[in-house]
Structure 1
Amino acid sequence: MSSLSPLFKPLRIVLLAGAAMVAISACAATRPPTSALGYAAGQPQLGIAELTTRYRANPKDKGTIITYSAALRAAGQSGQAVAVLEQGVGTYPNDPDIAVAYAKALTADGRFEQSLGVLDRVIRPDAPDWNALLVKGAAMDQLGRNAEARQVYGQALVMAPGEASIEANLGLSYAMTNELGAAEQHLRRAVQMPGATSKIRQNLALIVGLQGRFDEARKLYAAELPPDQVESNMAYVRSMLTQQNRWDAVAKS
């Protein structure tokens, strides 16, 4: 695994239903004040209780398996999401949608090598699925294989040009190696694309804030969040800079 820079050593990318977000790993003292609770585009925003009832009633329904597992991941129940998908893989052993969902759950649960193994079996070299490539890149980023991850994201962009989540993950990959200018460039590109989510726009605000442009970051957050959450996020940005002793670097930038 390649070493990460002092500023971004705690940063990890978490794939939640195909969208990227920055999260702090368990070794850090603080957590982001907002969490990513979105599912994949087009999926109904159903509660865990209702989805649990549906799953229990028909645990072999493919759509329910994928939606339920995505909801569990979004709620931070990655281990349970893995268990659901393990059952799903047993029911649909050759289904690429189930396999990609399984890889997402494994990635969210920190089982990156296992996720890559699943993806390598499902990705077709002649016609790779961009969503599978997106998850593969994220798992590689988590393992510190950032250069390889960016090559995978580049391949995904060839398959799906204009897909905001790919540009966003590419930006976060650069953030993990403290290349904040490149990170901002890709995130700004992502927010201009159809399908850009609030979480992607919040990630842009985070990267802007980590460069010391606090007024601009606050404005970006204010367009997405209520005032109390804006201030929580700004406090979080400052806490990250304080933890990593980055104030002098920001002042000089």
Structure 2
Amino acid sequence: MPGRRLTFLRRALIAGVAALALSACATTRVAGPTPDYSSMPREEALSALADLTARYRANPRDRNVVINYAAALRAQAQTGQAVAVLETGIRDFPNDPEMRVAYAKALTADGRFGQALNVVDSAIRPEAPDWNALSVKGAALDQLGRNGEARALYQQAMVIAPSEPSLLANMGLSYAMTNELTAAEHYLRQAAAMPRATSRIRQNLALVIGLQGRFDEARNIYAAELPPGEVEANMTYVRRLLTQQNRWDRIATQN
């Protein structure tokens, strides 16, 4: 029964760890960091997507437009289209490691974890690994339930990029996926306190706190990030998860 209990928790948190890993900014050669479209206000993100759609149609072989367009599509849950865009990008830029990392992100977001691992492995240079690539590989491993391997990669990435909050947050969500909520909160609090922490990180901290039954504290964090209606929706979700978890605990005790 503990395995079934952890399965539901993993499903609840799996999107969080993937989203953090996949939304982390990556430096591109020409255009600078890829924006985190998933953390933008909805109207701004949709406007950016419309602009990138037009630019991609005008020149589908513009490397930076391809990478940014795919990221904007992923932020709107258009993961299949993002994969298709990057499949074309990989054909045009077969030796570009950043294109491969972007492709692995799209595959992971689309649930194609084994393929994502193969792609991102080809982009990682053992003698000089990129923290973003390590994070993407960790996200895919976490979603496959290989949490120990994922955490080792996040730890390696943190040595390379110690000021990157998404790495600490991914570590926290990895622990949350195995129901180690104290460790999860520890890492998420560190991530949320960093200067470049996103609203998504703070909301995941609220989720982990709520799963420990500290509803007032969780509500206060959500209230600082979301409109009132969304706060209540998130609190309802937390309570539903906790009720389900407690149900599995009771069944395990009875058996």
Q: Does the C-alpha gap of structure 1 residues 104 and 6 become closer, same or farther in structure 2, counting only changes over 3 Å? A: closer
Partner Cα distance (1:108, 1:133) in 2: 16
Partner Cα distance (1:188, 1:16) in 2: 15
1:8 deviates by: 1.4
2:115 corresponds in structure 1 to: 114
Q: Does the C-alpha gap of structure 1 residues 145 and 223 become closer, same or farther in structure 2, counting only changes over 3 Å? A: same
Superposition CA RMSD, Å = 2.2
Structure 2: which 5+ runs fail to align?
25-36, 251-255
Q: Is the deviation greater in 235-244 or in 64-73?
A: 235-244
In 1, are the aligned partners of 2:38 and 2:45 still within 8 Å (CA)? Answer: no
1:194 deviates by: 2.3
Deviations 1:80-121 (A, max 9, x none): 000000000011111111111000000000011111101111
1:38 deviates by: 2.8
The code of the aligned residue for 2:74 comes to R
SS state at 1:194 partner: coil
SS state at 1:123 partner: coil
Q: Is the deviation greater in 180-189 or in 4-13?
A: 4-13
In 1, are the aligned partners of 2:20 and 2:166 still within 8 Å (CA)? Answer: no
Q: Is the deviation greater in 184-193 or in 4-13?
A: 4-13
The code of the aligned residue for 2:147 comes to N
In 2, are the aligned partners of 1:163 and 1:194 still within 8 Å (CA)? Answer: no
In 1, are the aligned partners of 2:168 and 2:191 still within 8 Å (CA)? Answer: yes
The code of the aligned residue for 2:161 comes to A
Q: Report how many residues are paired.
A: 229
Residue in structure 1 matching 2:19, options 15, 21, 24? 15
1:247 deviates by: 9.6
1:76 corresponds in structure 2 to: 77
Structure 1: which 5+ runs fail to align?
21-35
1:219 deviates by: 0.5
Spell out the pairing of 1:52-201 with structure 2 (5 A cutoff).
Answer: 52-201=53-202
In 1, are the aligned partners of 2:100 and 2:119 still within 8 Å (CA)? Answer: yes
SS state at 2:39 partner: coil
In the superposition, the TM-score normalised over structure 2's length comes to 0.84
Q: Does the C-alpha gap of structure 1 residues 46 and 129 become closer, same or farther in structure 2, counting only changes over 3 Å? A: farther
1:229 corresponds in structure 2 to: 230
Deviations 1:103-148 (A, max 9, x none): 0000000011111101111100010000000000000000000000
The code of the aligned residue for 1:116 comes to L
